[in-house]
Amino acid sequence: MPSFDIISKTDLQRLDNAINTATKEILNRFDFSGSKTSIELDKKAMSLHIVTEDDMRLKAIEGVIISRMVKQQLESSSLDFGKELYASGNMIKKDIKIKQGIDKDTAKKIVKIIKDSGLKVQASIMDEQVRVTGKKIDDLQDVIALMRKQDLGIPLQYENFRS
């Protein structure tokens, strides 16, 4: 039976390239000259650590990171810009989490959307991905087209297409 997997993952090498280019761009900008700004990518904890002096610079850094991610063909919705702002002296620190995998609530939404569509396919949750199986490949392609129209707040990829 034909099947495919719906997953959500971020290419770490592309993200690393985007962060490195964003860091270089920020260091060369006039409004950041003389500032103590740092951006670090923690690949094990899947998070970005930003330290800077004020809120205006923090917003500028976020904008540069998003633009560099778009140029690297990464979805900016894979970043979770939390409201965690910590002040130590005159510095502001922000941790941005990188979303990997599909959480249970989103997976349930995906399964519900597929079942409500009336297509003759079965969707099942497997760890951090959703497997869709059906008798016809056309039905599976219709599911992919349906999911591309949805806005679930996370980037979705479709892989492991087997016929």
Tens of pLDDT, residues 5-55: 999 998 999 999 999 999 999 989 898 888 888 899 998 999 999 998 888
pLDDT of residue 84: 67
Q: Where does the chain have alpha helices with state H? A: 12-28, 55-71, 104-116, 137-149
Q: How many C-beta neighbours within 10 Å does residue 103 have?
A: 12
- Asked if residues 162 and 2 have their Cβ atoms less than 8 Å apart, the reply is yes
Please list, in sequence order, all residues whose beta carbon lies within 8 angstroms of the beta carbon of residue 31, skipping any fewer than 6 positions away. Answer: 57, 60
What pLDDT does residue 160 have?
87
pLDDT in tens, 67-118: 999 999 998 888 988 876 777 778 888 999 998 889 899 999 999 999 998 8
* Average pLDDT of the segment spanning 138-161: 89
Q: List domains and CATH numbers for the chain.
A: 3-8+101-162 (3.30.70.860), 12-98 (3.30.70.990)
